[in-house]
Amino acid sequence: MACKRESVFAYTATVKLFSATLVLLASAVSAADRPNILFIFSDDHALNAISAYGGPLKEIAPTPNLDRIADQGAIFTRSYCSNSICGPSRAAILTGKHSHINGYLDNGYFDKEYLEDVNFAFDGSQTTFPKLLREAGYQTALIGKWHLKTEPEGFDYWERLPGQGSYYNPHFIQQDGSQKQYQGYVTDVVTERTIDWLKSGRDKDKPFVLMAQHKAPHRNWSPALRHMDLWDDVVIPEPATLFDDYANRHPSLKDQEMSIEDNFFYGWDMKFHGETPYPEYFGSYPNYEYRRMTEAQKKQWDASYEEENQALLAAIEAGEMTDKDVTRWKYQRYIKDYLRCIRSLDEGIGEVLDYLDESGLAENTIVIYSSDQGFYLGEHGWYDKRWMFEESFAMPFLIRWPGVIEPGTRSEALIQNIDYAPTFLEIAGAAIPETIQGRSLLPVLKAGGKAPEDWREGLYYFYSGEMTHRVPAHDGVTNGRYKLMHFTRDDSWNLFDLKVDPQELNSLHDDASYAQVLKEMKTLYHDLRDEYRMSDSTLPAHRLGQGWWKQRYQKTLGKVAANGSDYELVFIGDSITQGWEGAGKETWNEFYGDRKALNLGYSGDRTEHVLWRLLNGELENVDPKAYVVMIGTNNTGHGLTPAAETAEGIKLIVELLKDRSPESEILLLSVFPRGQQPDDKMRVRNEEINGIIETYAYDDQVHWLDLTDTFLNEEGVLTKEVMPDALHPKQKGYRMWAEAMEPTLVELLK
């Protein structure tokens, strides 16, 4: 994101490299001995389509090469994502943090007009494992799908698909910004590029981490030409819940738009040409992959699909197909194409594994296979993902590490994608930042897959509810046996007992015999939300629906894009900070007029809004000498939010600033007093917050300044002369603030 960041990182790099070196010396491992990490990642790969996981398709569509990783290493059977969608899963992997902390909550597709011109993107300026591995002496590379909207940071080499990427004759964006088109099939190209990099891109004096990231088997499930006719004469078994009636679960299960029956496109998904003659069965959307093909490719494609397509149309025309028959036909078309995509993927993985063997790299290279989330293969009548139900919540996780992991290991440890970053860091002998939320898997890997005593008891899940496919916002927890889901919209719950109801067809939250389980699961839910720092105050939220707010935000983006690096002093806050442009204007000019100061105060903002802005571009290019942070009183004003919750929001803001600007000073101000009298409820609440946040100034970078007394008279009263509405300073109040803060600022701006 920020170009200026490079120099800052160079500085921290030296410091961190130094500490990393100490760790390495301590464990007497030389840099060259550290294992390489080959992270092979696909998109939307359901566990049910990997034979090592068993499942109904294992005989019909085996994946021998993926199974090779499992057989020679370990398979994790309770591996999950934190947010079942592409960008967010990738962001969680890169950062080791849940979505609300790394800020990438969803893929960023919204249906609201006012959001159209806002570019939601991953804040790539934050710390990620590739950056830390690079600092620790690893060579870092990425080939394939990225899908985070900002360019990859922290990689010595990358070559990425634009957005979702294409299956046929795909373009790749190069590090210099140019595009390169490769002829052929995307899975084969990623495989070739991966092997090429291993052959000739590598710096043989360094260990490497290579992320080889496939598009397959993502929608529209275009197979390679050589696999088009696989399973032509076979009927793939249908999942038992293909015609799920969605009874006994949240009503939103009926409202989704990801059903095989209702939401497949004639051209795009089902591979027909032209407009749909049966809009009741197929939506209209053309097959853009077909348009990318050469004439020869098209010819082969048509030779494979057209006969079957025409046969279906004739059968419908002749009245031979019931609605259910058509759904069944669509399922067959879908599942076969999906499995055909998997076939190329599996072949490609085989080639890479063979190359590792031939080159001698296998011995010291950890190979991991995973996918950004699971996927529905007709279960519940669905394709796609997003729900916390098992099929899309689960992520494959296979790992081979010769000499460390016993071949044939099966692990039931509860693991999540936030664990990958700390695992890689520990493997590299690098320090794991305290703010990382995942746990290193090393203890599990070294103990034959057994989770240590103090391993986690549950996993937290969050889905934001973006418009695509109309799956509503929900979050939840599982302990492996039970799963509790919370639906934000109507504040309602679903509870599942995975042992008696593995297909999750019957919510037990109203079942009296599960009252105790429900209670325990709710406790787990609240505990995990606390542990992972999730609350209204920490979940980044925008106010783009309010015109003035959107305008102020966009104006700020313009300012920082043009002159971000000029600012020396940046104020972050709410209306009290914004008021420097109103009642405080004269004082501002007097004190800060010559100091290249930027005002990031927005009236009415709470911690969650500040977090959203800072994560969405307001700090681009910004790296001032000092930040002044004063936020929280609107959290108090918003239903008297508990002090600990508001404080956590403030803590995240401070951490974010420390992470993005390790050299800036951060002046954290007490939340200003409000309410005229000392016993005012909100005044007391703000004081509670201050009691917590003053402890955040525990290092040289964060400075605490309590200005409470500045504004109060001797009886502790907040007078009208200072703050007429007992909340916002007037002219006199701003002057008092500036004068009281000045000595500290002078020090910090030196």
Query: Which residue number, 43 or 620, has a Cβ lying nearer to ligand SGN?
Result: 43
Question: Residue 572's beta-bridge partner residues?
Answer: 600, 629
DSSP string over 33-87: GSPEEEEEEESS--GGG-GGG--TTTTTS--HHHHHHHHHSEEESSEE-SSSSHH
Query: Which residue number, 135 or 384, has a Cβ lying nearer to ligand SGN?
Result: 384
Q: Which residue is nearest to ligand SGN (CB)?
A: 86
Give least dist CB 258 to ligand SGN, A. 7
Stretch that binds Ca ion, among 227-235, 286-294, 364-372, 485-493 (CB under 5 A): 364-372
Helix (H) or strand (E) holding 657: helix 643-660
d(CA 133, CA 181): 30
Gap between the terminal Cα atoms of the chain: 27
Query: Which residue number, 219 or 625, has a Cβ lying nearer to ligand SGN?
Result: 219
200 Cβ partners below 8 Å, 6+ apart? none
Catalytic pick from 111, 196, 255, 725?
Answer: 725
Query: Minimal CA–CA distance to 650: which of 628, 631, 635?
Result: 631
Buried b (16+ CB within 10 A) or exposed e, 573-596: bbbbbbbbeebbeebbeebbeeee
270 binds ligand SGN (CB under 6 A): no
Stretch that binds ligand SGN, among 217-225, 241-249, 512-520, 580-588 (CB under 6 A): 217-225
Contact with ligand SGN (CB under 6 A) among 68, 134, 218, 330: 218
Give least dist CB 284 to ligand SGN, A. 12
Query: Which residue number, 41 or 588, has a Cβ lying nearer to Ca ion?
Result: 41
85 binds ligand SGN (CB under 6 A): yes
Query: Which residue number, 375 or 567, has a Cβ lying nearer to ligand SGN?
Result: 375
Rg for the chain, CA atoms, rounded: 28
Residue bearing tokens 């939220």: 541
44 binds ligand SGN (CB under 6 A): yes
Contact with ligand SGN (CB under 6 A) among 97, 219, 483, 533: 219
Stretch that binds ligand SGN, among 93-101, 213-221, 438-446, 620-628 (CB under 6 A): 213-221
Binders of ligand SGN in range 104-143 (CB under 6 A): 107
Q: Which residue is nearest to Ca ion (CB)?
A: 86
Catalytic residue list contains 661: no
Q: Which does 486 bind (CB under 5 to 8 A by kind): Ca ion, ligand SGN, none?
A: none
Query: Which residue number, 384 or 419, has a Cβ lying nearer to ligand SGN?
Result: 384
Count of residues engaged in binding ligand SGN, rule: CB under 6 A:
14
Contact with ligand SGN (CB under 6 A) among 79, 220, 365, 464: 220
Q: Which token pair is 345?
A: 């993927």
Question: Residue 174's beta-bridge partner residues?
Answer: 159
Query: Which residue number, 106 or 159, has a Cβ lying nearer to ligand SGN?
Result: 106
Query: Minimal CA–CA distance to 264: which of 547, 469, 443, 116?
Result: 469
Give least dist CB 378 to ligand SGN, A. 15
Query: Which residue number, 281 or 553, has a Cβ lying nearer to ligand SGN?
Result: 281
Q: Which does 219 bind (CB under 5 to 8 A by kind): Ca ion, ligand SGN, none?
A: ligand SGN
Contact with Ca ion (CB under 5 A) among 337, 372, 574, 623: 372
Contact with ligand SGN (CB under 6 A) among 36, 40, 43, 430: 43
Query: Which residue number, 386 or 625, has a Cβ lying nearer to Ca ion?
Result: 386
Question: Residue 172's beta-bridge partner residues?
Answer: 180
DSSP string over 682-737: HHHHHHHHHHHHGGG--SSSEEEE--HHHHB-TTS-B-TTT-TTSSS--HHHHHHH
Catalytic pick from 45, 214, 486, 728?
Answer: 728
Give least dist CB 121 to ligand SGN, A. 14
Q: Tell me if 645 sits within 8 A of 28, measured CB to CB.
A: no
Q: Which does 625 bind (CB under 5 to 8 A by kind): Ca ion, ligand SGN, none?
A: none
Contact with ligand SGN (CB under 6 A) among 21, 332, 468, 731: 468
d(CA 441, CA 416): 10
Catalytic pick from 497, 501, 575, 659?
Answer: 575
Q: Tell me if 741 sits within 8 A of 707, measured CB to CB.
A: yes
Question: ∠ at Cα 743 (737, 748), nearest 5°?
Answer: 105
Q: Which does 220 bind (CB under 5 to 8 A by kind): ligand SGN, Ca ion, none?
A: ligand SGN
Contact with Ca ion (CB under 5 A) among 86, 362, 477, 622: 86
Query: Which residue number, 331 or 514, has a Cβ lying nearer to ligand SGN?
Result: 331
Query: Minimal CA–CA distance to 189: which of 214, 209, 211, 208?
Result: 214
d(CA 360, CA 473): 48
Give least dist CB 325 to ligand SGN, A. 24
Catalytic residue list contains 511: no
Buried b (16+ CB within 10 A) or exposed e, 541-551: bbbbeeeebbe
x/- track of binding to ligand SGN for residues 606-645 (CB under 6 A) = ----------------------------------------
3-state secondary structure of 363: helix
Binders of Ca ion in range 37-56 (CB under 5 A): 43-44
d(CA 194, CA 187): 11
- SS3 percent helix, strand, coil of the chain, rounded to 5, is 40, 15, 45
Question: ∠ at Cα 650 (647, 651), nearest 5°?
Answer: 85
Question: Residue 665's beta-bridge partner residues?
Answer: 626
Stretch that binds Ca ion, among 235-243, 290-298, 367-375, 721-729 (CB under 5 A): 367-375
Catalytic residue list contains 725: yes
Give least dist CB 22 to ligand SGN, A. 40
Q: Which residues would be at the binding site for ligand SGN (CB under 6 A)?
A: 43-44, 85-86, 107, 147, 164, 218-220, 268, 384, 468-469
- Active site amino acids: 575, 725, 728
Q: Which residues of the shown chain bind Ca ion in the complex (CB under 5 A)?
A: 43-44, 86, 372
